[in-house]
Structure formats: structure tokens, C-alpha cells
Amino acid sequence: MVYRSDRFLRGGDHIPFANRGFAAVRLTEMNENFNHQHQDVRTKNDTAYGDLEEYMDFDYLKKNASVNIATLANLAKAPGVPQNVSIDVKELTNFTSIFWLKPNNGNIKGYYVLMRETTSPVWQKKIFTTANSINLPYSKDNYFFAVQSVSNDGNESLPVMPFPSR
């Protein structure tokens, strides 16, 4: 995992989606061949440049497409995301109250509230509830939170981080 929107001097198709609030990821080859990527098609000093079919790794493309299809299929089975997820910030306390509305679609069994320390790049705790709010004995200043919808068959929506509310 790389926790930045893209590599230096590049811009993927995922960025406009992320900028508009959609969950977006990019799958990319770690070791690029700069003779065949980010180049105009040409030959110079007997070296071929450009993104040409003969340099394509079709096994890699197959694996990449399979990951995309599996991800899309999993998201299609998931319920909609919780709506209007908010975190109460009207008081200074060492507790956190989070509120949300049920999603616009999907059969909901309940919700997962995710938490992670502000220094962690991954979710560290997952709390299940059937309610549309939760009060937690953790400081909102020390953790990031998100809420996911969970369907009756266990599929999870994308997590939604709360916006501050008073």
C-alpha cells in the first residue's frame, strides 16, 4: 500500500473520483520501464520507445483485471453506505458520539464502527452495532472513526468517515 494519491509526475484515473469523495484506489506496476511508459512512440538510436503491444505483459494484465472484477463484484454485493455520518464535537470530552442514517439501499443487519489511532494507516478496531449511533469511551482527538453498513449475508459497504457536527 502506498498512502498517497499517485507517484511523482503522474496522475491516475482514480484521482478525479477521490477528489469528488468516492473511494478510489490505483493498481500499478511497482517497477516501471520508462522506455515504454510515459513515452511517445518513436525509435531513437536503435531503441524503441512507447507503449507498444509487444511490450505488454498479458499475464499481468489478466491478474490486474481479475482483481478489478473481484473488487467490483464484492462492492456490488455490499449494501449502500451509511448516510450523514457525523461526530459530535460540541463538548470537550474523552468520549466520542457518532450518528448516522441508514443507507439508501441494501438489507442491513447492522453497522461496523471502525477506529484507528491517528498515527495508524489501517483500521485497528471494529465494533458491531444495530443502532444508528454509538457512544464510545475513546477520545475523538486520538482516533479516526468510520462507519460501514453490513448486509444480512455479511457483506460490508465502504467505510464513511464522519463530519464534525454540533
Strands (E) in the chain, as ranges, are 42-44, 47-49, 83-88, 96-101, 108-117, 125-129, 133-136, 143-151, 163-165
What pLDDT, in 10s, does the model give residues 97-127? 999 999 988 889 999 999 999 999 899 999 9
5, part of any domain: no
Indicate whether 38 and 102 sit together in one domain: no
Indicate whether 87 and 72 sit together in one domain: no
67, part of any domain: yes
Total number of domains in the chain: 2
What pLDDT, in 10s, does the model give residues 136-163? 999 999 999 999 999 999 999 989 999 9
Indicate whether 90 and 149 sit together in one domain: yes
Indicate whether 70 and 88 sit together in one domain: no
CATH number of the domain that residue 124 is part of: 2.60.40.10
Residues of the domain holding 60: 32-77
